[in-house]
Amino acid sequence: MEEVIKIKGGKKLNGTVRIGGSKNATVALIPASILANGPVTICGVPSISDVESLSVLLQDLGVMVDVRSSDSILIDTENMQNKPLVHDAVNKLRASYYFMGALLGKYGHVEIRMPGGCYLGPRPIDLHLKGFEALGATVKYDHGCYVLDAPELVGTKIFLDIASVGATINIMMAAVHAKGRTTIENAAKEPEIIDVATLLNKMGAQIRGAGTNVITIDGVDELSGCFHEIIPDRIEAATYIVLAAAAGEEVKIENIIPHHLESLTSKLAELGVDMKIDIDSITIHGGLDNLHPIDIKTLPYPGFATDIQQPLTALLTQAQGQSIVTETIYTERFKHCFELEKMGAKINVMTPSSFINGPTPLSGAEVSATDLRCGACLVIAGLIADGVTTIRNIYHIERGYEHIVEKLTAIGAQIWRETFD
């Protein structure tokens, strides 16, 4: 049995979409919460499959996970035990690696299977491991599992060769109980890092500089429970903004932080999209007439996010001329281009760039979501295509977009799920 998403294109969208909590923050906040010696309540949790996978891993560790409402969970470590994380859920999401930093910080020992997630080209975790080693841990890889041991973690200065979000958060979590001061230089600056640091500081950690390229962590003996509300998801917001520009008549996207989206909105202004930006919302007046081609280069935050280039490519197929997307983060992140070509797009991929020639009419076809943001790209393409588009492998989409069919149906899209053998 396989479930697919079907979209009948050509419907003009009108209404309001509310953005949920950040997926990229959530998948780090949940592992970070196990550092507390008391209950942690997290509000604004998105309803996505990654959260279900993380909950399974928490329960494997003996952690109580109590769903308090549709978007609120309570995590209690009272009966927690440090067991090997070898459940299949580890393979379902890359963010399971955050348990490395959290468990190493709390217990000085971790055993975990190789993390999974979307394949976007090489995504080594060597920076994470080098950071743990710098703090005093030994790292072994044995029969498909990483085994980390540290009788004592001692603060030190760590320079990241690449400003990696995952490594920055993981080292930060490992360092909260380390003896003395840890300094992370060339740290990533993404808003999700600030959100994790905010949670840890509420617990009693002493972290300064999150959001800058130098983060300092002074080790503490104990962390306690707290309440935390997750920031809005800037990538979900960006996806719906692009979607509204492509298929909307008048669509308001609310519960956003505009500052987090400036790299996108500046490019959309260059493209010729009509937008009105308010304190916590943006209203898009869509339309595909007279869109100008643009060039994009993905960069670490506050540059143009790699996660946004795939959804935006669907819109660029309608610009009047050639647009160029250059990918500097994950150089193989172009599988969506080959799926778009099945719908009539004219794209030349010459790694690390894609050349999108427009405008080209898109036609409904059977396509596959090869990863999370490719799935978002294909949803946008399906909304502006002529005829019916069938998207397979939708589990990728459901890893990062909560209630996407329901949200789009509410603003007038003709979109539905079908199951077949």
Binding-site residues for UDP-N-acetyl-alpha-D-glucosamine: 94, 123-127, 307, 329
Q: Are 383 and 13 in contact, with CB atoms under 8 Å apart?
A: yes
Q: Are 214 and 193 in contact, with CB atoms under 8 Å apart?
A: no
118 a catalytic residue: yes
Partners of 297 in the β-ladder: 326
Catalytic residue among 43, 118, 226, 374: 118
Q: Are 365 and 345 in contact, with CB atoms under 8 Å apart?
A: no
Q: Which residue has the tokens 């920055």?
A: 168
Instruction: Please name the residues in contact with 136: beta carbons below 8 A apart, sequence gap of 6 or more.
Output: 150, 151, 152, 153, 154, 178
CA-to-CA separations, 218 to 256, 355, 367, in angstroms, rounded: 32, 47, 50
Rounded to the nearest 10 degrees, the angle between the axes of helix 372-384 and helix 306-316 is 20
List the binding residues.
23-24, 94, 123-127, 307, 329
List the binding residues for phosphoenolpyruvate.
23-24
Q: Are 96 and 90 in contact, with CB atoms under 8 Å apart?
A: yes
Alpha-carbon gap, residue 212 to 203, rounded angstroms: 21
Catalytic positions: 118
